[in-house]
Amino acid sequence: MDILFVATEIAPYEKVGGLADVVAALPKALRGLGHRVTVVLPKTPRFDDAGLLLARRLTPLTFNFGGADHSVTLYDVRLSSHVELILVESGALFTRPATYGERGEDYQDNAERFAVLSRAAAEIALARQDGGQPFDIVHVHDWPTALVPTYLQKLGVTAKCILTIHNLSHQGIFPKDVLPKLGLTWDAFHVDGIEFYGKLNLLKQGIVSADAVTTVSPTYAREIQDPKTGERLDGILRARESAVLGILNGVDYAVWNPASDSELAARYDAEDCTNKTRCKGALQRELGLPLEPETPLVAYVGRLAAQKGPDLLAQALPELLRGTDAQFIIVGDGDAAIKAQLDAACAKSGGRAVATGHVKDAVVHRVFAGADIVVVPSRFEPCGLVQMYAQRYGAAPVVRKTGGLTDTVVDCDSKLETGTGFVFEGDEVGELVGAVERALAARVLTAWPRLTRRIMRLDRSWDRAARQYEQLYKSLLSSSAT
């Protein structure tokens, strides 16, 4: 099949969250199955900073947009995985210092910015179709590209279109008066589509207009159809229930693998984990923690946002520091109030806790390698990659029972004979404290090394997810042929 991805992030060049890892890994996995994959992305300064060799197309792509002609310049680059990138340059729209906005504030023209990207992607698909080499599938990701199926239909492109929802809480909601700037009128939309409580909702339009909707875990696919967790889109999603499918994200083991990770002080694998102790010592030195190889090391890696639950950890830290001898590392940046709470707790830890703020990916690799336990206290989690990275590096995850965390972590029994981590329910600090203390108590058991080996041997590769997407693509194509 010939597949076109449309997205706003791709690791390691343009990364805000897990979307970037997915867009980097899934096309590569599909390419490994024999399919041709092209990814359309906005051309941001980060691609130039990375030193990629970009081939600029001599002829701009021009289309009528919002009543006026609009031109974008396209750049081509082939990744080492043989996945093709097409980068869209449009004046100053994509030259911002941040992908979507800064400090939690969206850029005011985000609707127009990403509509230009979406329309350009649809025009690329149209050109391929007119040239006799059409894409079979167009696969778009989250609200910034959710208008792609509408533009494809408007242009008469016949490719089947799939929308993947990575996080339903981000929907692309804008005032109604933005609509003319998107090059569309009300008659372009499904009657139950873009209108949303007197505003425009781009993700909602994508849900009703795509041929299929996927989420990044089976549990999350069910949760978003529940009024309690459906972010006011549960009704639309229930109406399309037969077209909604949850496919669990994977791990790119070419990137996240302690047996081959060049960022580590020493490499190790499930058959011989002894070098994990060396990695812990190197991490303690790097971050200024006491060099105590036998002391348990607990880590949090993620954005400092309410969704991820770092405020619960900030409240739990004083009790955990009093009641255990563990060391703590918090990696991530975001909400200033949460950061201040964590900094205050670390300042009173006697050097046993450190909050690093934002760090390079290389440091994140070393944190997973050095940690014994990784805490993922998310209030909701569409999939989550942190817990799967932790498992691969032999760090037992402590997670809240929600979304993809439910699908990837099975609670350990008291003897560690079964299970792949430690699970708690609810949203109380005491429940998080109890789960971390249970993990720390389990660490002294003679069965702990067996748990480490068990979680490191889990198969979370992208190959499994890619085959599920492949089957979905084929089912859509076969249904259109009948």
Model pLDDT for residues 222-237, shown as the tens digit of each residue: 999 999 999 999 999 9
DSSP 14: B
pLDDT by residue (tens digit) across 261-302? 999 999 999 999 999 999 999 999 999 999 999 999 999 999
Residue 104's pLDDT is 72
* Per-residue confidence band for 184, with pLDDT thresholds at 50, 70 and 90: confident
The secondary structure of residue 159, as a DSSP letter, is -
For 120-144, write each residue's pLDDT tens digit. Answer: 999 999 999 999 999 999 999 999 9
Average per-residue pLDDT in the chain?
95
pTM of the full predicted structure? 0.94
Q: 102: pLDDT confidence band, cut at 50, 70 and 90?
A: confident
Q: What is the tens place of the pLDDT at every residue in 312-327?
A: 999 999 999 999 999 9
Strand pairing of 199-201 and 173-174?
A: antiparallel
Residue 482 has pLDDT above 70, yes or no: no
Q: What is the pLDDT, as a whole number, of residue 479?
A: 84
In contact, 6 and 135? CB cutoff 8 Å: no
Q: Are the beta carbons of 321 and 311 closer than 8 angstroms? A: no
pLDDT exceeds cutoff 70 at 158: yes
- DSSP lists the bridge partners of residue 398 as 375, 422
Q: Who's near 88: CB < 8 A, 6+ residues apart? A: 40, 41, 42, 43, 72, 73, 74, 94, 116, 117, 120, 121
Burial of 251 (0-12, 13-18, 19+ CB in 10 A): buried
Condensed to tens digits (0 to 9), the pLDDT of residues 399-424 reads 999 999 999 999 999 999 999 999 99
* Contact criterion met (CB below 8 Å) for 27 and 37: yes
Closest by CA position to 192, among listed 240, 154, 227: 240
Are residues 71 and 61 in contact, defined by beta-carbon separation less than 8 angstroms?
yes
What is the set of domains in the chain, with CATH numbers? 2-250+463-481 (3.40.50.2000), 275-459 (3.40.50.2000)
In the predicted structure, residue 192 carries a pLDDT above the cut 90: no
| Rounded Cα distance, 226 and 6, in Å | 28
Average pLDDT over residues 99-111: 89
> In this predicted structure, what is the pLDDT of residue 193?
82
Residue 462 has pLDDT above 80, yes or no: yes
221 pLDDT tier (thresholds 50, 70, 90): very high
